[in-house]
Amino acid sequence: MKWVYHACRVIFGAWWLFSGLMHFIWPQLQPLGDEQPAIDFTLALMASGLFDWIKVIEVVLGLTMLANRAMPLTLVALIPLNIVIVYWNFVLDEGAVEWTFGALSIVFNAVLVWPWRRYFWGLFTWRGQPDYSLDPGIA
């Protein structure tokens, strides 16, 4: 499993890094989609300025994945963006290539989250106790 994790981490990290940098270095290569809903969605993100922030986040997450650092935080930040990407690939811009990228996003996420799963169980605490102290000590 270790080599599968590292292969997915490097491939997915490079994919995210390239995707984020592409917007700034080669903006003419940025795919808008083939279907009108995908094009409209992407253009709306660009017009709002949110697309630039998304691409900066992609670069940062690509770098942290490639460095294998801050992985629990990286995965927490990665999943919401990936939900939108998967929706874009499966719903807004349907096709074999899009479905393949959407499926690979799900697989890569699952493989990357699995070794770090113990870090996430605390997020499912239904009724926890807040810590109001100024001491950042970890229990």
pLDDT digits 0-9 by tens, 87-101: 999 999 888 888 999
Taking 70 as the pLDDT cut, the residues of the chain under it are: 137-139
User: What integer pLDDT is reported at residue 131 of this predicted model?
Assistant: 81
In a domain, 65, yes or no: yes
| Domain total in the chain | 1
Predicted pLDDT at 1: 80
Which residues span the domain enclosing 102? 2-29+48-117
pLDDT value at residue 25: 94
99 inside domain = yes
- What would you report as the CA-atom Rg of the chain, rounded to the nearest whole angstrom? 17
Within-domain flag for 76: yes
pLDDT at residue 95, rounded to an integer: 85
Residues in the chain: 139
Structure tokens, 52: 């630039």
Q: Is residue 88 part of a domain?
A: yes
Q: Which residue has the tokens 């100024």?
A: 134
pLDDT for the residue numbered 138: 63
Mean of per-residue pLDDT scores for the chain? 92
Task: Say which residues have a Cβ less than 8 Å from residue 114's Cβ, sequence separation at least 6.
Answer: 1, 5
Q: Supply the pTM of this predicted model.
A: 0.85
Look at residue 128 in the predicted model and tell me its pLDDT. Answer: 86
Decide: 13 and 63 in contact? Cβ < 8 Å: yes
Instruction: Give domain status of residue 57, yes or no.
Output: yes
